[in-house]
Amino acid sequence: MIPKIDLAALTAGDKAALEAMQGAATDVGFATVHNTALTSERVSDVIETYRAFFKLPETQKAAYDMAKTGSNRGWGAAASEQVDPDANPDFKQVFDCGLTLPAGDPLLDNPFYAPNHWPDQPETFQTVVSDYYEAACAVAMDVLRGVAASIGKPRDSFDDAFGKPMALLRGNYYPTRPADAGAKDFGIATHTDYGCLTLLAADGSPGLEVRKRGGGWIPVAAPPGEFVINFGEMMEFWSGGTIKATPHRVVGGSNERISVPMFFNPTHDTNVAPEGSDQVIMAGDHLSKRYNETYVHLQKK
């Protein structure tokens, strides 16, 4: 069972909401979250904005291809990412954008804070997506405060680590499953997310499956206004394994689908090694490692 959490109740310290979040964090690794600052209208708006972009001809999208821009911002074509080395590259397409630092910031030279590449079409793309980016970061931070409280830590335990987050907002476009797709083809193959927290909006159509401990898959759907949250690898290290990064996938079927994950990654120089250990795991280094493994244009074969 995937816990269902009212974020306003969690923020207010409601006991049932705290217990549900504790179960989500330390057992299932997933939850759905509703009653947030992001209305269903805003979520639908950003989803339809991404959809309009993905419907452009490939030649137009190619101008923003991240394999050419060299950063992890812009469009990723089908088969540009291989999240599971035992599967084929994913058949989804993506569009990624991240934080814009102010002029003069010392982190500006760092590739994780590279400039965004905004498409000209649809015309509202940059405004709608960057406004959503800001709001999704704020909701994600609120969720993390609730997570901290749910495991008996001060609510602001994670705040300092997210001053300049390497937060990446992605639009995922899953076309219908290709007719020639085989057993190694997926919309997105089985993987765990790399960062701390993922806050995912979707258009309500099915596709996401969460791996059950002991085997099998649990389908999870979220209509606009409800979010799926899950924890990533950095959060699992950081919490010394208390918080779980659970594998998930999208096989893809007869329905087209859009999802919009906010990968809420901490500031580049955050040490996400278990507290009290003498290990050092820099958030930026972990992310680089995972990108080098999974982005086809970065893979060393």
Ligand X SMILES: O=C(O)CCC(=O)C(=O)O
* Interaction site with Fe ion (CB under 5 A): 193
Q: Which is nearer to ligand X, 28 or 202 (CB)?
A: 202
> DSSP secondary structure string, 40-106?
HHHHHHHHHHHHHHHTS-HHHHGGGBHHHH-SS-EEE-TTSB-SSTTSPPPS-EEEEE---PPTT-G
Q: Does 172 bind ligand X (CB under 6 A)?
A: yes
Longest dimension (CA), the chain: 53
Which is nearer to ligand X, 115 or 247 (by Cβ)? 247
- Residue 129: which of 87, 156, 107, 100 has the closest Cα? 100
Query: Which entry of Fe ion, ligand X, none binds 80, CB below 5 to 8 A by partner kind?
Result: none
Binding residue for ligand X, selected from 259, 265, 267, 270, defined by CB under 6 A:
259
Q: How far is the CB of 174 from ligand X (least distance, A)?
A: 7
Kindly state the number of chain residues that form the binding site for ligand X, as judged by CB under 6 A.
12
Q: Count Cβ atoms within 10 A of the Cβ of residue 67 and give its class: 0-12 exposed, 13-18 middle, 19 or more buried.
A: middle
Asked if 168 touches ligand X (CB under 6 A), the answer is no
Q: Which is nearer to ligand X, 164 or 170 (CB)?
A: 170
| Residue 171, helix vs strand vs coil | strand
Burial (CB count within 10 angstroms: exposed 0-12, middle 13-18, buried 19+), residue 204: middle
Site string for ligand X, 186-215 (x = CB under 6 A): --x----x------x-x----xx-------
Cβ pair 234, 272 in contact under 8 A: yes
Does 248 help bind ligand X (rule: CB under 6 A)? yes
From ligand X, Fe ion, none, which one binds at residue 202 (CB under 5 to 8 Å depending on kind)?
ligand X
- Residue 127: what residue type? T
Least Cβ distance, residue 297 to Fe ion (angstroms): 20
In the complex, minimum distance from the CB of residue 283 to ligand X, in angstroms, rounded to a whole number: 17
Rounded to whole angstroms, how far apart are CA atoms 177 and 274? 40
Nearer to ligand X, 17 or 89 (CB): 89
Q: Residue 58 contacts by C-beta under 8 Å, 6 or more apart in sequence?
A: 77
Residues that bind ligand X (CB under 6 A): 170, 172, 188, 193, 200, 202, 207-208, 248, 250, 259, 261
